[in-house]
Amino acid sequence: MNVIKRVIIIVLDSVGVGELPDADLYGDKGSNTVGNIAKALGGINLHWLEKYGLGNIIPVEGVPPSAYPMSSYGKMAEKSKGKDTTTGHWEIAGLILDKPFPTYPNGFPQDIIASFEKAIGKKVIGNKPASGTEIIKELGEEHIKTGYPIVYTSADSVFQIAAHEEVIPVEELYRLCEIAYEILVSKQAIGRVIARPFLGKKGNFYRTPRRHDFSVKPFNKTMLDYLLEKGIKVYAVGKIYDIFAGQGISEYVTTKNNMEGVDKTLEFMEKYKEGLIFTNLVDFDMLYGHRNDVLGYYKALQEFDSRLPEFEKSLTDEDILIITADHGCDPTTPSTDHSREYAPLLVRSKQVYPGVNLGLRKSFTDIAATVGEVFSLPKFTEGESFLKELYQQKV
């Protein structure tokens, strides 16, 4: 048996596989991102994910179970309270939140807004939950006329600041976000402050790719920190650096879209043959889930599916590839928010038996525990490793 020297984790942001038992507490009864997309479209075609075993996890119209899946498969429950990006990724990395980050369905309290306005020396407009594209459509012209930044939130624990790049330059927008971060973390321990720059004119405003997330730091050490302490490198792609506030990361790249995220992951795989590569592909969530764009979501799944042969070519006998998600965002429901769902678990390695049913995992932390066992880290999470199960021959 070869020693595993590299783990690649790819988080398909929001690609959930069915409601959790407590979904009704979150208003998400009936949510099933992958299953409902397939049903709404009368069936979908995901050739490589089918071969990996996606249809073995849950029924997916058009993606039947594989008799001989190339990957081991299962699904994971989220043990933390909440259904946001930070909570999901932190749990994947070994941390469980006992209480969710605060959300602001009625906008931010006046004392927070007043503190922020005083600190930046100007008023803000907005201060309500909104779609990012809709809020700039609604308030973009007023923002240009007044110079006042647009503040808004969502169902997540986020304080978002939108500003036209020709009115408030991006570096200044980042400074405003840093001020908001200090105020909010000290008062509320919010999940993230997000800079949302945009350009264009009335009737044609569009967001630019220079978004930046200012995330609260993890409350304890994650698998990333333990890896670095042991001298094992961690390479982050996409939002990962922001989600962990830069902690526990050796090298990182940001990305403009899913396909660039795939490109950068493959580049890291070509360059570095040991360590952890941790990737977030956000388009599923940001561009399609939150906009209830069923067809767009499916096309994004097809795009990712079409790139799996490149991963097959890049995988060595000393690799484990893990494909999962951080929550759901079912585009077929009336809600445009995240949904409380199971995460898929597809585990591909050329040196272990394929097709092992990993079953229902109690927590996303099982990934952290598995990474910990691969790299002989000290026990740091309550998760249960599935490494030994991968070496069990399918009956």
pLDDT, residue 393, reads 61
Write out pLDDT tens, residues 310-339: 999 999 999 999 999 999 999 999 998 899
Report the interhelical angle of 85-92 vs 365-374 (nearest 10°).
30
User: Phi/psi at 346 (nearest 5 deg)?
Assistant: -120, 125
- Per the prediction, the chain carries an average pLDDT of 95
Q: What's the CA dihedral at 306, 311, 314, 318 to 10 degrees?
A: -160
Could you tell me how many residues make up the chain?
A: 395
CATH fold of 6-98+218-390 reads Alkaline Phosphatase, subunit A (3.40.720)
Name the residue ranges covered by the structural domains of the chain: 6-98+218-390, 110-215
Rounded to whole angstroms, the Cα distance separating 162 from 149 reads: 6
Percent of the chain at pLDDT above 90?
87
Residue 215 has pLDDT above 90, yes or no: no
Q: What is the DSSP letter of 394?
A: P
Tokens of 114: 């007043």
Band (pLDDT 50/70/90 cuts) for residue 169 is very high
108-151 pLDDT, tens digit per residue, is 999 999 999 999 999 999 999 998 889 999 999 999 999 999 99
Level-2 CATH architecture, domain 110-215: 2-Layer Sandwich (3.30)
The phi-psi region of residue 210 (left if phi > 0; otherwise alpha if psi is between -120 and 50; otherwise beta) is alpha
Task: Quote the pLDDT of residue 190.
Answer: 86
Q: What mean pLDDT is predicted for residues 144-172?
A: 95
Q: How far apart, in whole angstroms, are the C-alpha atoms of residue 153 and residue 134?
A: 12
Structure tokens at 214: 């200012």
Q: Tell me, what's the pLDDT at 311? A: 98
d(CA 39, CA 298): 11
Residues 92, 386: Cα–Cα separation, whole Å = 14
Taking the alpha carbons of 88, 89, 94, 100 in that order, is the dihedral positive or negative? negative
